[in-house]
Structure 1
Amino acid sequence: MQSLLDPAILFFALGVFAGVVRSNLEMPSAISRFLSIYLLMALGLKGGFALAASGFTASVASSLGLAVLLAVVVPLAGFAVLRRMLSGFNAAAVAATYGSVSAVTFVTATQYLEAQHIAYGGYMAAAMALMESPAIILAVLLANALRQQQAAAAHPATVVGVAGSGAALLGAPGLGTAAPHRADHGGQPLSMGKILHESFTDGTQLLLLGAMVIGMATGDAGKAAMQPFSGDLFKGMLCLFLLDMGLATARNLPAVRQQSPWLLAYAVLGPISHATLALGLAWLLQVPAGDAVLLMVLAASASYIAVPAVVRYAIPEAHPSLYVSLSLGVTFPLNIVLGIPVYAQVVERVWGG
């Protein structure tokens, strides 16, 4: 109960309430953008300072390696489940959304751990960056394999004997490899190279990793110089950003009510399953407790910014209202209000026992 009285959580609740009662409270888009840039920059700096102090140890390697493994397993498992409820393209888009991560959920989790005096590695910011892109790339490969399947059904003589990695991802023999390009909404070809470029050079990742490198390079001297910016202001900025996220969540509630009960169940149970998988793997590898909590949070989170921005054009056959409403309207508030403290308590009991 004490975790619900955290100012950041209460400001999120205030934003939801303001949106539900249709208040005219709003956050200017330029300020929202500034807040997101600030949080990513501060988070990257903190991670860099922590890495400068600890170095790249076996514990760091195991945590980051586990993050990459989860980034591949979660979207593939999600696609296998969602394919039973949705069309292939919608299933790929939703699987990408839930296979990627939410930076705001991660930042909120780090603040919770600090408030509870639970140590974690600042390098986990790198884990978050590593987990963002694999799901997008896998979703694009799956979508391209589906298009090959459709083309094979329409023109079987033109694809006989062709097999490739995209078909293997779908588990369907005899399909071609991912198509070299397709047209986006503007009629321009959207190549796999373009998707990879957008995934790996996305501004959020670039800023996060760049700030982390700067933090590593400057070490203790940089930490002392940046403390008023990346330390003292951080909590207040997070509260403002969560207020804005509460307003955004409220705006997505009407779309949530239109979704199938099965999809709503997935938006709740899927993240819990992903977090449980992360818990088991972290326990097997003896990852530090604080890192284990953050891995659970990352595995359970869902992207509502980076993935929709790319998938909207990479998989135009999918419906954006579907994957955005589920991630922002259901999974995000569930993790912010209940998930983070529950994951921390579970890790405390398992690691403490």
Structure 2
Amino acid sequence: MGGFLDPAILFFVFGMAAGLLKSNLDIPHPISRFLSLYLLMALGLKGGFALAKSGFNAEVAITLGAALALAFAIPALAYYLLRRFLNGFDAAAVAATYGSVSAVTFITAVQHLDNLGVAYGGHMAAAMALMESPAIVMAVVLASYVRRQSAAGAMPVPGTLRRVLHESLTDGAQLLLLGAMAIGMATGAAGEAVMKPFSVDLFKGMLAFFLLDMGLQAARNMGGLRGQSAWLLVYAVVAPLAHAGLALLLGWALAMSVGNTALLMVLAASASYIAVPAVVRQTIPEANPSLYFGMSLGLTFPLNILFGIPVYTEVARRVLGA
């Protein structure tokens, strides 16, 4: 029950309640955007400061390699399963959504580990950045293949891939995260002392405010789940657990630390509700947005925030013996 006693999580619950009650409580989009950028910047700085202390070592390389492996394996597995009860376009879109990651889920997990005093590496923020794009690229390739199979006039794969890769690599939020991490590494302990009021003292309050907005959005997007196959609802609940299990297996096999394994499990279990839906809506217009957006934001995101993060952390502690 520790997660429920965290003020940030309680604000998420409050936001969901207000949304379900159809309250007119609303966080203006520019403020929500600012909060998102602040959290990514603060996370990047914290990761950079930690990397300045530890340096780039074998553990960092192994962890990033595991993250990249999951980033390709999860969307491939998802598409294989989803194709059994969805058309090719919807299967590719949902696979991309669940194969990518949620920055807010990751940031909430970082805060949870901080509250518990569980150590983790600053490079996990880089792992999050690495895991965002592969699923999108795979989805575009799969959708182009489906178009060819249906003789509907395939979109040229090379041009599409170039555009997707450019958008992924130059996305403002991701660049800010990596840039802040680089600045944190370059400035080290001196920079950490100067930025502490910004990146540490304000972090909890900003996260609570942002999770309030996310609670409102989650409640208001649950409507997208109405009328969907029961198998999709099962997938939205079971798939994150299976993906977290894959990450746990990797963490155990590679002798990763408890904190790093827990965060890898959170990343594997999360689903994108901002970056991927925005790209998929443009590159796979045949897919149903209410399906992949409703599943990720309306069901998987709340489950991970309320239950998943503490469960993944406790499982990692028990399995890895810490």
- Tell me if both proteins adopt one fold, taking TM over 0.5 as the criterion: yes
Match in the other structure for 1:227: 196
Shift of 1:220: 0.6
Match in the other structure for 2:130: 130
The amino acid of 2:226's aligned partner reads R
1:219-249 CA-to-partner distances (Å, cap 9, x unmatched) read 1111001000000000000000000000001
Shift of 1:325: 0.2
Shift of 1:22: 1.5
1:138-185 CA-to-partner distances (Å, cap 9, x unmatched) read 00011111112223xx89xxxxxxxxxxxxxxxxxxxx9x8346xxxx
Which one of the candidate residues 163, 171, 184 is aligned to 1:215? 184
Match in the other structure for 1:109: 109
1:321 aligns with 2:321: no
The amino acid of 2:103's aligned partner reads A
- Aligned equivalents of 1:56, 1:286: Cα separation in 2: 17
Shift of 1:346: 0.5
Q: Give the SS at the match of 1:191.
A: helix
Q: Give the SS at the match of 1:101.
A: coil
Q: Give the SS at the match of 2:70.
A: helix
Shift of 1:76: 0.2
Query: How do 1:189-200 and structure 2 match up within 5 A?
Result: 191-200=160-169
- Aligned equivalents of 2:172, 2:289: Cα separation in 1: 21
1:14 aligns with 2:30: no
Match in the other structure for 1:158: none
Match in the other structure for 1:80: 80
Match in the other structure for 1:57: 57
- Aligned equivalents of 1:233, 1:109: Cα separation in 2: 17
1:286 aligns with 2:255: yes
Q: 1:179 to 1:339 in 2, by over 3 A?
A: same
Shift of 1:85: 1.1
1:74-97 CA-to-partner distances (Å, cap 9, x unmatched) read 000000000001000100000000
The amino acid of 1:301's aligned partner reads S
1:146 aligns with 2:146: yes
Match in the other structure for 1:331: 300
1:310 aligns with 2:279: yes
- Aligned residues of 2:141 and 2:157 also touching (Cα < 8 A): no
- Aligned equivalents of 2:24, 2:182: Cα separation in 1: 41
1:84-134 CA-to-partner distances (Å, cap 9, x unmatched) read 010001000000000000000000000000101100011100000000000
Q: How large is the RMSD of aligned CA atoms in angstroms?
A: 1.4
Shift of 1:203: 1.1
TM-score (norm 1): 0.89
- Aligned equivalents of 1:79, 1:113: Cα separation in 2: 32
- Aligned equivalents of 1:180, 1:66: Cα separation in 2: 28
Which one of the candidate residues 205, 230, 234 is aligned to 1:265? 234
- Aligned equivalents of 1:93, 1:180: Cα separation in 2: 16
Match in the other structure for 2:317: 348
Match in the other structure for 2:156: 179
Match in the other structure for 2:45: 45
Match in the other structure for 1:164: none
- Aligned equivalents of 2:16, 2:148: Cα separation in 1: 43
Shift of 1:324: 0.3
Runs of 4+ in structure 1 displaced over 2 angstroms?
178-181
- Aligned residues of 1:70 and 1:299 also touching (Cα < 8 A): yes
- Aligned equivalents of 1:295, 1:142: Cα separation in 2: 26
1:265-296 CA-to-partner distances (Å, cap 9, x unmatched) read 00000110000011001100001110000000
Match in the other structure for 1:167: none
Shift of 1:191: 2.8
- Aligned residues of 1:71 and 1:132 also touching (Cα < 8 A): yes
Shift of 1:137: 0.3
Match in the other structure for 2:68: 68
1:325-344 CA-to-partner distances (Å, cap 9, x unmatched) read 00000100000000000011
Q: Give the SS at the match of 1:352.
A: coil
Query: How do 1:15-30 and structure 2 match up within 5 A?
Result: 15-30=15-30
- Aligned residues of 1:148 and 1:179 also touching (Cα < 8 A): no
1:277 aligns with 2:254: no
> Where does the alignment leave 5 or more consecutive residues of structure 2 unmatched?
none
Match in the other structure for 1:34: 34
- Aligned equivalents of 2:227, 2:32: Cα separation in 1: 27
Shift of 1:24: 1.6
Q: Give the SS at the match of 1:27.
A: coil
- Aligned equivalents of 1:234, 1:144: Cα separation in 2: 42
- Aligned equivalents of 2:61, 2:136: Cα separation in 1: 23
Q: 1:180 to 1:80 in 2, by over 3 A?
A: closer
- Aligned residues of 2:140 and 2:160 also touching (Cα < 8 A): no
